[in-house]
Amino acid sequence: MAEKPQPVRVLYCQVCSLPAEYCEFGSDFEKCKPWLIQNAPDLYPDLLKEADSKEADKVAQQLQSTALSSGSADGSAPSGGASASKQEEVKRLPGGKIKRKEKQEVVIEKIVRNKRKCITTVKGLELFGIKLSDASKKLGKKFATGASVVKGPTEKEQIDVQGDIAYDIVEFITETWPDVPETAIFFIEDGRKVAAA
């Protein structure tokens, strides 16, 4: 008797349903990009570079706007000098062990699958000394839904919450964990990082 072959698990894109490696040939590659950066970064290394350079641009922009301390010309970038200095403050929080220079921020992203169903991922709470298992329980309870701690694509743990709770979640986080300032919470929208505040 031949040996039983194990089924191969293919990474399907939750945006366009194709195997992730074929997203570039799908009907709307742009829409897949945020999901791919999160879930299949090694398939599209260029995307990551793209995102990184965008990020770098943003930082540069931020530095510039603090230096000049004039109103930013671009209204869509709500990154004033105030938020930058606040982030400096929260660096000295209890817990002590600051791993390298990881930016202390919470990143929230809504991931759509099958058109209607979606999950909201929350990353970075642990950077504020919050226990993820606790946080996951609280989130599940608050939004009456399933929430779990999972290993993200970069091997870092994140919380996946069933359903679209992206907009209520900010208030909940800042109320439940006062150590997390609203200015440190970001959304990923269309592959771009947007401040929640």
Q: Is residue 5 part of the contact set for another protein (CB under 8 A)?
A: yes
Q: How far is the CB of 120 from Zn ion (least distance, A)?
A: 19
Q: How far is the CB of 50 from Zn ion (least distance, A)?
A: 16
Closest CB to Zn ion among residues 30, 171: 30
101 near another protein (CB under 8 A): no
Q: Does 106 bind Zn ion (CB under 5 A)?
A: no
Cα separation, 70 vs 72, whole angstroms: 6
Count CB neighbours of 30 within 10 A. 11
47 binds Zn ion per the rule CB under 5 A: no
18 scored as a contact of another protein (CB under 8 A): yes
Interaction mask 26-65, another protein, x per CB under 8 A = xx--------------------------------------
CB of 10 to another protein, least distance (A): 4
CB of 41 vs Zn ion, minimal distance in Å:
14
In sign, the C-alpha dihedral spanning 63, 92, 54, 71 is negative
Question: How do the residues of the chain divide into helix, strand and coil, expressed in percent and rounded to 5?
Answer: 40, 20, 40
Contact between 146 and 140 (Cβ < 8 Å): yes
Beta-strand relationship, 185-189 and 106-113: parallel
23 binds, options another protein, Zn ion, none, Cβ within 5 to 8 A by partner type: Zn ion
Burial 32-62 (b: 16+ CB within 10 A, else e): bbbbbbbbbeebbeebeeebeeeeeeeeeeb
Interacting residues with another protein (CB under 8 A): 1-5, 7-10, 16-19, 21-22, 25-27
